[in-house]
Amino acid sequence: MLDKNGIARRIAKEIKDGYYVNLGIGIPTLVANYIPDGVNVVLQSENGLLGMGPFPFEGEEDPDMINAGKQTITTLPGSSIFDSAMSFGMIRSQKIDLTILGAMEVSENGDIANWKIPGKMVKGMGGAMDLVASAKNIIVAMQHINKAGESKLLPKCSLPLTGVNCIRKVVTELAVLDILPEGGFRLIERAPGVSVDFIKQSTSGKLFAEADVKEMDLN
Amino acid sequence: MLDKNGIARRIAKEIKDGYYVNLGIGIPTLVANYIPDGVNVVLQSENGLLGMGPFPFEGEEDPDMINAGKQTITTLPGSSIFDSAMSFGMIRSQKIDLTILGAMEVSENGDIANWKIPGKMVKGMGGAMDLVASAKNIIVAMQHINKAGESKLLPKCSLPLTGVNCIRKVVTELAVLDILPEGGFRLIERAPGVSVDFIKQSTSGKLFAEADVKEMDLN
Amino acid sequence: MINKRVADADEAIRDIIDGQTIMLGGFGLCGIPEKCIAALVKKGVKELTCISNNAGVDDFGIGLLLKTRQVKKMVSSYVGENAEFERQLLSGELEVELIPQGTLATRCMAAGYGMPVIYTPAGVGTEVAEGKEVRNFNGKDYLMEYAFDADFAIVKAWKGDTAGNLVFRSTSRNFNPVMAMAGKITIAEVEELVEPGELDPDHIHTPGVYVHRIFQGSDYEKRIEQRTVRPRN
Amino acid sequence: MINKRVADADEAIRDIIDGQTIMLGGFGLCGIPEKCIAALVKKGVKELTCISNNAGVDDFGIGLLLKTRQVKKMVSSYVGENAEFERQLLSGELEVELIPQGTLATRCMAAGYGMPVIYTPAGVGTEVAEGKEVRNFNGKDYLMEYAFDADFAIVKAWKGDTAGNLVFRSTSRNFNPVMAMAGKITIAEVEELVEPGELDPDHIHTPGVYVHRIFQGSDYEKRIEQRTVRPRN
């Protein structure tokens, strides 16, 4: 079973040289730590920045330079700044090669819910609805099961949706799964030490799994 | 009867302090020469410039600095440069207070034709259709009658239209006329030495004129 | 050039009245019009509808207007990090309209560019789509969203000149340029106000035609919401 | 950063083939991609549809591609000042679609901003409106116009870096930034190509994500179409 860093490490392997990538808050942010040397990627932050760098050294924080999580950050050589309309313009026109974001629920037809829990304070969708509706390539980083052991990979989402029929790949603490165009999760890889049977038990949506599914290579 | 410079001089009196103005090619360009001292205006050129200045001194022409007539020009302190989408964005959102352009024909309901003569080589509408469709305040500078003595202020335009129901004021070599919201030209001023009767004869569209119409003051 | 300079924030916001709709630039606490917010608190104008990506924190940004109960409605994409906001929302004192961040930005741009509506796929199939026209182009569904119609836009820039030209710094640009284009009246506060000619025309982000009033603020606090650093080694 | 540098114009346009649609930046002869036009003439690619505000003059700009009969169709707002153009048009050898200048610019922006259509009042009630959807918003009629769909966009900038970031100079900016956003593949030629980090991120007009190939041209002619001057005294 993977921890958060394990999920991030596995997702990092999906990033190809030359990609422009948007990383959501939470586990997706950790992905930046595992991008292999020699793979050139440019990180977009939807508040208006391409070429996001690491956090600043203490004492060098600039209140005018933050990311979409409102964290102080730095830029790399070759970065560019733009306004919010252009930022979402490039998202809508699919100039961003890969979007990685978290989810509370994903359904077997690629719906995603990650912004609202009825009865709880709703903070808003931020840029998530724009990202899932527009991105050509989205990877969801999420927990496969909640603390009660219930699956979050469902036949149909129970929570209010963020986007419909838009997710094609999910990485959880248990597995890597594709979502098939015709519907259903397809098990691609299992986490180290996790059995196919356990993944089957933990997936309430339709699951397609070969008897022999390879274990993830995290290196 | 006014010459071209006279028409430009009369139109210049319509420009108020604080106006952003777009001047078309031809007579409208001459208007810039007659803006009174103390009246601050900013000239927009729709190829992407606010704050157009005079022509450069000989030897100081910059091929990267032209106006919408493709003439070499200069900028004034406080000018700004922008792309073509923003330029027409500010035109559509009516940030330009006054547009002055030429016409071949104007009709009594405010239609204008100024871009195409059937049978002749058509060069295109450039930005004219955008300007007439969007501007809140348009003055047309034009000849009242053609060389054959025929009126160009018509019940209905005979040439392909540039815009419909958009012109409210016309300045010709003979007169200043408003176009009434309910239709028809209203004679406001006559050019020095021109009689109301001659203007009536020269206007084929519906004309409303008092018996006593004041002569233009060009100073 | 046309001189847009006003003395200070009080003069800039003088004619904002109860019940109006105002846009406020900024993302989180980054690039927010601190001085105009303080002046609005001082003036005590009420029943405002505020269009702003976020709602500030309890004691800074739009949070200051919430604390004094001057806001009737927030139109935002994300409104966390504010306990008083949450209290007012749950008690029904405050109305909130949540819209996707890209839709928020593009509805501002639409107003500035004279486009009555725009189409975006954001929110299709979700509760955001309720009551909206859905239209298919090239096999994909889009929502029709209207241009904003705001009485005032209030933005914060780094530098400006008295002709109203604005230059932004780093990610404090965010919503400021698109909101500057979108207000019936646009007010800009800047850290440094210069004379026309001092800003390079090629580097101006917001042309002066969009700005109606401009003033220089002082002692900007520019509070940091999430101070994240890495160790030196 | 991702390195977008190619050796020269020939390499940049290597895969443009007969019958494709290309956008070319520039207004008149100002800010046109001289080097790529020369390379297209040399390559001899034919049956092109060219989206460009103007069509050059007889012996410069797109006029060079017209002279060699490489253009099937021009999509422009104004096409005067070109005798060969006129000859081909009147003889039926060349197809021309004239569209309002603002519509041309905004259809480029729509492509770059992922908006399938935009609404503009330009052309309502004229022959430009024929066959197009007219829709009334707030009492005013607008035409629905589609985003462009171009195989290549070719633009000219003043400076660029190898990450594809572009900076334009004066009014040679014009259509270049909106076309740069609109091509499936965007090629930029620049007068000066620098390393990442040499351009100020706040002053970049076109972010590198929009640019796929970039090279530095040399010996720009930058011809002036209407040389107008005033006397010194």
* Facing residue for D113 by CB, picked from A78, A81, A89: A89
Q: D169-191 burial string, b = 16+ CB within 10 Å, else e?
A: bbbbbbbbbbbbbbbebbbbbbb
Q: What is the rounded CA–CA span in Å between residue A206 and residue A108?
A: 6
Amino acid C90: pLDDT: 86
Q: What is the rounded CA–CA span in Å between residue D101 and residue D77?
A: 5
* Facing residue for D1 by CB, picked from A44, A49, A78: A78
| Chain A CB contacts of D213 below 8 Å | none
Between the alpha carbon of residue B19 and those of residues A31, B33, B39, B82, B95, the distances in Å are: 53, 16, 9, 19, 10
Is residue D73 scored above 90 in pLDDT? Answer: yes
Per-residue confidence at B82, pLDDT binned at 50, 70, 90? very high
For residue D7, the tally of other CB atoms under 10 A from its CB is: 9
D176 contacts chain C (CB < 8 A)? no
Mutate to test the interface with A, among D209, D213, D214 (most CBs of A within 10 A): D209
Amino acid C3: pLDDT: 96
- Give A158 to chain C, closest Cα distance, Å: 13
| Chain D CB contacts of A49 below 8 Å | 201
Three-class HEC string of chain A: CCCHHHHHHHHHCCCCCCCEEEECCCHHHHHHHHCCCCCCCEEEECCCEEEECCCCECCCCCCCCECCCCEECCEEEEEEECCHHHHHHHHHCCCCCEEEEECCEEECCCCEECCCCCCCCCCCCCCHHHHHHHCCCEEEECCCECCCCCECEECCCCCCCCECCCCCEEECCCEEEEECCCCCEEEEEECCCCCHHHHHHHCCCCEECCCCCCECCCC
CATH of the domain at C34: 3.40.1080.10
DSSP B216: P
Q: Do B78 and C1 touch (CB under 8 A)?
A: yes
Residue of chain C with shortest Cα separation from A66:
C171
Per-residue confidence at B142, pLDDT binned at 50, 70, 90? very high
- Token pair 């000849």: residue: B143
Those of residues 139-168 in D touching chain B at CB distance below 8 A are 158, 168
Is residue D232 scored above 90 in pLDDT? Answer: no
Chains A and B touch (3+ CB pairs under 8 A): no
What's the pLDDT tens digit per position in D141-156? 999 999 999 999 999 9
Cβ proximity of B137 and B166 under 8 Å: no
Is residue D81 scored above 80 in pLDDT? Answer: no
Is residue D210 scored above 80 in pLDDT? Answer: yes
- Give B129 to chain C, closest Cα distance, Å: 15
Closest CA to C26 of C188, C209, C193: C188
| Chain B CB contacts of C163 below 8 Å | 42, 51, 78
Residue C157 counted as domain residue = yes
A211 or D124, which is more confident?
Answer: D124
* Facing residue for C109 by CB, picked from A48, A58, A85: A85
At position A5, the amino acid (one-letter code) is: N
Q: Do A83 and C103 touch (CB under 8 A)?
A: no
Amino acid B211: pLDDT: 85
Residue of chain D with shortest Cα separation from B52:
D171
* Facing residue for C201 by CB, picked from B20, B40, B81: B81
What's the pLDDT tens digit per position in C178-195? 999 999 999 999 999 999
The residue-averaged pLDDT of D198-203 equals 98
- Give A140 to chain D, closest Cα distance, Å: 23
Amino acid A160: pLDDT: 97
* Average confidence score pLDDT of chain A: 96
Q: Do B85 and D174 touch (CB under 8 A)?
A: no
Joined together, the tokens standing for residue B3 give: 């010459």
Per-residue confidence at C204, pLDDT binned at 50, 70, 90? very high
Amino acid D1: pLDDT: 83
Amino acid C1: pLDDT: 83
Positions of B annotated as catalytic residues are 46
Which residue segment(s) compose the domain that D89 sits in? 9-116+148-216
Strands A207-208, A185-190: pairing kind: parallel
Count CB pairs under 8 A between chains B and C. Answer: 74
List chain B domain ranges.
4-209
Residue C158 counted as domain residue = yes
Mutate to test the interface with D, among C107, C109, C113, C119 (most CBs of D within 10 A): C119
| Chain D CB contacts of C113 below 8 Å | 106
Residue C33 counted as domain residue = yes
Cβ proximity of A165 and A109 under 8 Å: yes
Q: What is the rounded CA–CA span in Å between residue D223 and residue A132?
A: 47
D44 contacts chain C (CB < 8 A)? no
Is residue A219 scored above 90 in pLDDT? Answer: no
Is residue B4 scored above 90 in pLDDT? Answer: yes
Residue C128 counted as domain residue = no
- Give D184 to chain A, closest Cα distance, Å: 10
* Facing residue for B123 by CB, picked from D78, D122, D125: D78
Q: How many domains does chain C have?
A: 1
Per-residue confidence at C105, pLDDT binned at 50, 70, 90? very high
Look up the ipTM and state it.
0.97
Amino acid A156: pLDDT: 98
Joined together, the tokens standing for residue C2 give: 């046309």
CATH code given to domain B4-209: 3.40.1080.10
Amino acid D188: pLDDT: 98
Q: What distance separates the 2 farthest-apart alpha carbons in chain C? A: 56
Count CB pairs under 8 A between chains A and C. Answer: 177
Q: What is the rounded CA–CA span in Å between residue C184 and residue A85?
A: 19
Count CB pairs under 8 A between chains A and D. Answer: 74
Residue of chain B with shortest Cα separation from D31:
B64
> What is the DSSP track for B75-108?
EEEEEEE--HHHHHHHHHTT---EEEEE-SEEET
Is residue B137 scored above 80 in pLDDT? Answer: yes
Cβ proximity of C24 and C62 under 8 Å: yes
Q: Do C116 and D203 touch (CB under 8 A)?
A: no
Q: Do C229 and A72 touch (CB under 8 A)?
A: yes
What's the pLDDT tens digit per position in B165-215? 999 999 999 999 999 999 999 999 999 999 999 999 999 999 999 988 999
Q: A44-66 burial string, b = 16+ CB within 10 Å, else e?
A: bbbbbbbbbeebbeeeebbbbbb
Amino acid C233: pLDDT: 74
What's the pLDDT tens digit per position in A111-163? 999 999 988 888 999 999 999 999 989 999 999 999 998 999 999 999 999 99
Those of residues 23-52 in D touching chain B at CB distance below 8 A are 27-31
What's the pLDDT tens digit per position in C45-84? 999 999 999 999 999 999 999 999 999 999 999 997 788 8
- Give B167 to chain C, closest Cα distance, Å: 19
Task: Give the rounded percent of residues in chain D with a pLDDT score beyond 90.
Answer: 94
What's the pLDDT tens digit per position in C115-173? 999 999 999 999 999 999 999 999 999 999 999 999 999 999 999 999 999 999 999 99
Residue D132 counted as domain residue = no
* Facing residue for A127 by CB, picked from C28, C100, C168: C100
Q: Do B134 and D103 touch (CB under 8 A)?
A: no
